[in-house]
Every structure is written in C-alpha cells, then in structure tokens.
Homo-oligomer: A and B are copies of this chain.
Amino acid sequence: MSGMKQVFDEVIRKVKPNMAEVQVSFELFSRIASFVKDEYGLSAKLMGSVAKDTFLTGDKDLDIFVFFPVSVSREDLERKGLEIGKAVFEKFGCRDYVVSYAEHPYTKGVIDRYEVEVVPAYSIRSTKNLRSAVDRTPFHTKYVLSNLKRNDEVRVLKKFLKGIGCYGSDLKTEGFSGYLCEILVIHYGSFLKVIEGAQDWKYQQIIDASGFYSSRSYKTVARMFKDQPLIVVDPVDKNRNVAAVLSLQKLSRFIVCARKFSVKPELKYFFPRKRRIDGLSIVRAYEDKGVRIYAVVFERPADVIEDVLYPQLRKMLLNFVGFLGRNDFVCVDSWVFGDDECGVGFKVANVNVSKYKVVCGPSVFNQVKHQEGFIKMHKNRKVWLKDDRYVAEVERECLLIDDCVKLFFGGSKDDVKGRGVPANIADGICAGFRVLKGKQVLKVKSREFWDGVENRI
C-alpha cells in the first residue's frame, strides 16, 4: 500500500495544475465573460474540467456557455450564438476559429494557447426543460461542484485512463469521459476504490449513484441500454447512460489494467513510454509464425471529422472481415487506422484456399421449391445428400486472399457501398487504394497501424 501511496503522490505532483495556471485560466474566462456581458447583456459561465477543478496541468480547454432566456427562439439562439462567438474570437485576436456543429452550431478557436469554445445555451431551471443536449452541461457542472470533494482523485483517475489509452468519449477512443470519471470518484470515494470496484464489474454493471432505480428494475435498465457494456446512470438525467460511448474493448482494458495495477502499482500506467516499433522484426516474427500481415491503405478523407471517420472505418472493417470469412480466409486479428493515412490492418492464417468448396443447401424436409431451386442453381455441379441436407461442390470466386481483398475494395463507388462501406470512406477508396502485405507494410507510416500490429492487453 505504501507503494500505492507513493505512486499516487508522484502522479498528483506531476498532474495537478499550480495556482498560477488556475489563475490564468480564470482570468482569460472573466475577460471573455465581461466582453459578452458588456456587448450583449448575456451572462457567460465556465463549464468543463476547469470549472469543476478536475483538469490536468497543461490542459488548455475553456468551455464557455452563453445563456439565453427561454423566450428566445431556437433560430435566434443559433444565429446570435454564432455572432457572439465570432465577436469573441475577433476581439481576442483569433482569426482561424471554426464553426462546429454538435447538436447545434457553436464556434471554437485558440486564444492565448487556450482551446476556447463559445456555446450558446438556454438558461433553464430544471433538466425537465432540456431543449438540447448542451443544456444538460450546466447541470453536470453543478452536480459535480456540489458533490465532489476529492478533486485530485479525479485527476489521478483521468491520468490513469489517459496512460492506458482509455480516456476520451470521442468516437475514435470510445473511452471514459471526464464527467464519467467524476461520477465514479463521487460514487466510490477515491481513485483506488474505483480501481478496486472496477475489478468486480460484470457485463452491463449498473452504477446508479443517485439511486434512481431499485435493484429489482435492473433488468429493465439493462434492456434500456442494450449493448452498452457499462451503465452509469446520469445523476441529472435518469434516462441517460454517461458511459454510452464506452466500448467493450476499452472497458475490458480498464478492468484488466485496474487488476494489474492493484497487484503492482507502477507509474508506467500513468506515464507510459512510447514504444519504439521495430517494424521489420515484427513482420519477420509473424512470417515465421505463418501469419501474414496486410494493410489496405487509402487517402484519409480531408473533410471528415474523427467522430464520423472512425465509426465508418469500423463499420467497413466489420463487413470486410465478414467477407474474408465467407471466403474461408481466417482473419487472426484486424483493426483500423486513420491518423495519417487511413485504412485497415489485418493478419491472416492462410493466403490461399482450395478451388472448390462445399455449400450446404435445404433439407429434404424443407419446401420442395427450395430444394428444386438449389438443384437448379447447381445444375452442372456435383450435388449430393449429407443426411437430410442437399450439399453441392462449388468453384470459388477467389483462390487467393489478394483477389479477395481487391474484390471487396474494387469497383465503382456504388459497388463499394453495396458491400457495406460507408459513403465517406467509399470516396477515399475509389480515389485509389493499395494492398500491402508482408514486408510491404513497412511502408505504412500510421502509428495506429503499428499499434494494431503490436496489439497488447
């Protein structure tokens, strides 16, 4: 336990912002808030981890909400919100701000090295009157401010999750959000108790800090949040799962790291060294194992944000691996990358298959027309009975995996989309893709590709 305390202290020493850093953040916020008040007569409030005092040193995010009375129409709010944002960025010397669209539009840009967001929202008294998702944020902030006592515990938890690659509720990471960390610490009491608690989590563990549901209704809750592996009921909205974005993979990784950390607390979980990747020896080791590494690489679509790109890449991967499987190529592992170039990586146990395969047809007990259909479809082929089922020997479309890969990614944009590749990605693929295998993958620069190759617990 003393090792645990030492690690905790060392982490907090490194991640806790000092007073000067806090002061600078608040100063910048109050200058912006004054400007908004003076020019537009609207009150602006600080949200996010700076407001809740759970940010890590060096984090330079300022989430500023500008509140409108509910009498203002949605259109006016959006128009005025953008106007105020633009005025703020111009006033404070930021030229390359952008208009971003979550559920409604807002502006963001960099001021004094801070990533500033100016978000218009309605001033409401209760979450019952929510008009959009952003309206919930002030309630989150209020909840954390009045319930969180041990802010440093949140900082350490966040740093732990960052270190193991599980922090961030963006759709690339599919990990833990800051708010989720805060709720976990409020619920369990400390970083260490979260670590201990996580070790016993079941699939679809329900954490209901505010006690909205009785344990008898847990089955209903599990159904409400179907396929979401961890359910943390939002204390300000009992119909929302704060961990909705968390993937099974990242949750599992956290559970495993929590267990390993308990047994042997080490700083490396918080401050992992960036591994040097020796591509050539990795590729050689796999060739020795009879497993071949492949990469299908194409240009990263320029106008697609990560929250769209990664889900689309994953959807493509799912369909692609299914396609390989249906063609009897055994995919040992597969992953996507989108950080530099864009594409999928995969490892296969076989690169060729027999010319013929056996397909299974209807039973003699099925409708006769289905049986006749099967026989007709395989007219010039060998068809026989295996117990009660018709089977046929069919020549394969692809004998080599390279042909199979080209078949999946090739053709017109409509062809590619027809195989389950989302539109944005299909564009990129149709502009040209490369299939790299074995040592050829050494040409891939993407770090995410190589992290996928090295895939570790």
Task: State the A residues within 8 Å of B (CB).
Answer: 199, 201-203, 229, 247-249, 251-253, 255-256, 259, 288-291, 328, 330, 332-333, 349-350, 353-358, 363-365, 368, 383-388, 390, 393, 395, 399, 455-457
Q: CA separation between A364 and B395, bound complex, in Å?
A: 41
| Min CB gap A267→B, angstroms | 23
| Residues from chain B with Cβ under 8 Å of A251 in the complex | 388
Supply 24 A–B pairs (Cβ within 8 Å), ascending by A: A203-B363, A203-B365, A229-B388, A248-B387, A249-B385, A249-B386, A249-B387, A252-B385, A252-B388, A255-B364, A256-B364, A259-B368, A288-B355, A289-B395, A290-B399, A291-B354, A291-B355, A291-B356, A291-B393, A328-B349, A330-B354, A383-B457, A384-B455, A384-B456
| Cα(A418)–Cα(B451), bound, Å | 44
Between A251, A357, A365, A399, the greatest number of chain B beta carbons within 10 A of the residue's beta carbon is seen for A365
- Which residue of chain B lies nearest to A287 when distances are taken between CB atoms in the complex? B355
5 smallest CB-CB distances across A and B, nearest first, come from A290-B355, A349-B354, A290-B354, A289-B356, A252-B388
Closest B residue to A255 by beta carbon equals: B364
Give the Cβ gap from A370 to chain B, nearest Cβ, in Å: 13
**Docked pose: A390 CA to B253 CA in angstroms:** 10
Q: Are A388 and B248 in contact (CB under 8 A)?
A: yes
Q: Do A290 and B256 touch (CB < 8 A)? A: no
Distance in angstroms from A32 CB to nearest chain B CB is 43
Which residues of chain B are within 8 angstroms of A399 by Cβ–Cβ distance?
290
Cβ of A375 to closest chain B Cβ, rounded Å = 9
**A358 in contact with B385 (CB, 8 Å):** no
Q: Are A252 and B387 in contact (CB under 8 A)?
A: yes
Q: How many copies does the complex hold?
A: 2
Min C-beta distance of A450 to chain B, whole Å: 15
Cα distance A332–B368 when bound, in Å?
A: 25
Contacts of A456 in B (CB 8 A): 384
Q: What separation, in Å, do the CA atoms of A333 and B358 have in the docked complex?
A: 9
Please, which residues of chain B bring their CB within 8 A of the CB of A455? 384
Given A349-B357, A357-B349, also A364-B332 (CB < 8 A):
no
Min CB distance A11 to B, Å, is 24
Alpha-carbon separation in the docked complex, A457 to B202 (Å) = 51
Is the CB–CB distance between B393 and A289 below 8 Å?
A: yes
Task: Determine how close the nearest CB of chain B comes to the CB of A229; give it in whole angstroms.
Answer: 7
Cα distance, A289 to B396, chains bound together (Å): 10
* Residue from B229, B350, B358, B364 in contact with A350 in the complex, judged by beta carbons closer than 8 Å: B350
List chain B residues, Cβ under 8 A from A363.
203, 252
CB distance from A327 to the nearest CB of B (A): 12
Which residues of chain B are near A356, meaning CB under 8 Å? 289-291, 332, 349
Judging by beta carbons under 8 Å apart, are B290 and A457 in contact? no
Shortest distance from the beta carbon of A137 to any chain B beta carbon, whole Å:
31
A204 nearest CB neighbor, chain B only: B365
Closest Cβ of chain B to A255, distance in Å, is 5
- On whether A365 and B253 interact (CB within 8 A), knowing A354-B350, A355-B290, A356-B291, the answer reads no
A350-B354, A365-B202 known; A330+B328 contact, CB < 8 A: yes
A457 touches B388 (CB 8 A): no
Q: Is the beta-carbon distance between A358 and B387 smaller than 8 angstroms? A: no
